[in-house]
Structure 1
């Protein structure tokens, strides 16, 4: 038996990272930290500021507004794209978020407008298997993306 040249296995970061979270305010921070870590592993640290705000807004919306059915978890999925990341937040509520214009004296209501601005309008709501919906957004280094919906 002849021994070949030893090979070294390189651990490359997965192109998709998925995680489920309890419907808790703490999940917002944890999802943001997971995304920042993953962007660094993918060599996309320049996207961290915008992407962290986007995931914070989307997970916050799921925590605050996707209250039914009771007891269901929130899911996140981060997919590496060429020069960017697709962020998905899954929840079991059928209620779809709507972008609205908040008045100057309102404390809340600007989250999706912020997501829209940070993603260049590359966000939306899709159906998913099972109950609920997926709210997705794409953050790209060049402001454009070949992301699928």
Structure 2
């Protein structure tokens, strides 16, 4: 039984995990980066799995899946992020949104859509992901992000 299944088994009926953006950054991602502990959320390698494989690994109920993911670089010495999978790629859409706690920038949220095939001729799918990263004066190096799939 996975950590998530054990946690869900002990929750009261009707419980729903629905944290706000600033809670995801400050109460989950920051704690994971600084203390490396989290029983509720798992770590998933996005480059080795397709969107439809995520629910069985990272489900916390409903049609949203929360998990941590290591940032993969497209080139060893570059800053570009690799978001390709075997059958497609994640494409950023819109602009990054600031996440504030007490009027202070604590993180950013990026929205990504999954396209099947290879860029630039991929076919858009219904898979959407929100990527959260820590920002601000005390932010650690960006090696880990928190992802939320919505389907």
Higher strand share: 2
Q: TM-score, normalised by structure 1?
A: 0.32
Q: TM-score, normalised by structure 2?
A: 0.32
Q: Considering only CA atoms, is the larger Rg found in Structure 1 or Structure 2?
A: 1
Higher helix share: 1
